[in-house]
């Protein structure tokens, strides 16, 4: 009897693997920067080419870096959630405007509302390469020591905010 059960067991195991495979999200890659220091970046801001933002200025704070672009549809979709995040005042939210035109970005912020402390301007995407950005939007959580503690790829949703982002921020600010 068992000799007929073996192939069945093998087939069941295969089904389990395939089911797991279907649930994997190959689009969401773990960040190579996870638990490593955020690279130091000094960039002008979307507001003004003369005003500069340096990631090192954020030392000692828990903060969120949200990578966005005016041409990016999912960024538009997640914007309300970024506003919700900023409204909790759990952490400072800084924008990184990726591969964009300053005029377009300024227009976008006027239109959509600006939840960011400021948005650093990365017009040619080189800062994005430093951060391993491969698709916008992306969201990094950075701790007091300047290390990346969480990275979310793709649009934030209310659920992801509640289940992933806010718990991480609470743990970092109270821990």
Partner 1 sequence: MNKRIDNRMDRRMDRARAKPPASILRVCRSLLLCAGMVASASVFAKADLESQVQHVSEQLRCLVCQNQSIADSHAQLAQDLRREARQQLSTGRTEREVIDFMVQRYGDFVLYQPPFDPRTWLLWLGPFALLLAGLSALVVQSRKLEQSLEMENLAIAEES
> For binding to partner 1 (CB under 8 A), which residues are involved?
26-27, 29-33, 99, 124-126, 128-132, 134-135
Indicate the DSSP class of residue 2: H
Tokens of residue 126, six digits: 């080189």
The CA distance from 27 to 152, in Å, is 11
Task: List, in sequence order, every residue forming a beta bridge with 150; answer none if it has no partner.
Answer: 141
Tokens of residue 50, six digits: 């003369």
Give the nearest distance from C-beta 65 to partner 1 in angstroms: 15
Measured in degrees and rounded to the nearest 5, phi and psi for residue 67 equal -90, 125
Give the nearest distance from C-beta 43 to partner 1 in angstroms: 16
Q: For partner 1, which is the closer residue by CB, 28 or 54?
A: 28
Q: For partner 1, which is the closer residue by CB, 81 or 136?
A: 136
Q: For partner 1, which is the closer residue by CB, 33 or 80?
A: 33
E strand or H helix that includes residue 101: none
Q: For partner 1, which is the closer residue by CB, 4 or 159?
A: 4
Give the nearest distance from C-beta 132 to partner 1 in angstroms: 4
Q: For partner 1, which is the closer residue by CB, 58 or 148?
A: 148
Give the nearest distance from C-beta 121 to partner 1 in angstroms: 16
Core vs surface per residue 138-173: b (16+ CB within 10 A) or e: bbbbbbeebebbbbbbbbbeeebbeebbbebbeebe
Alpha helices in 96-165 (DSSP H): 102-112, 126-130, 158-160
Give the nearest distance from C-beta 87 to partner 1 in angstroms: 32
């Amino acid at each position: 009897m068992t000799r007929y059960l073996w192939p069945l067991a093998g087939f069941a195991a295969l089904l389990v693997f395939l089911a797991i495979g279907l649930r994997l999200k190959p689009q969401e890659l773990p960040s190579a920067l996870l638990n490593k220091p955020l690279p130091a970046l000094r960039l002008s801001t979307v507001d003004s080419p003369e005003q500069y933002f340096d990631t090192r200025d954020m030392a000692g704070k828990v903060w969120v870096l949200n990578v966005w672009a005016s041409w990016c549809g999912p960024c538009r979709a997640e914007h309300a959630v970024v506003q919700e995040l900023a409204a909790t005042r759990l952490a400072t939210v800084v924008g990184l405007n990726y591969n964009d035109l300053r005029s377009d970005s300024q227009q976008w912020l006027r239109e959509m509302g600006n939840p960011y402390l400021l948005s650093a301007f990365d017009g040619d995407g080189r800062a994005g390469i430093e951060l391993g950005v491969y698709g916008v939007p992306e969201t990094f959580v950075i701790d007091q020591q300047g290390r990346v503690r969480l990275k979310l790829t793709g649009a934030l949703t209310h659920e992801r905010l509640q289940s992933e982002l806010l718990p991480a921020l609470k743990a970092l600010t109270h821990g």
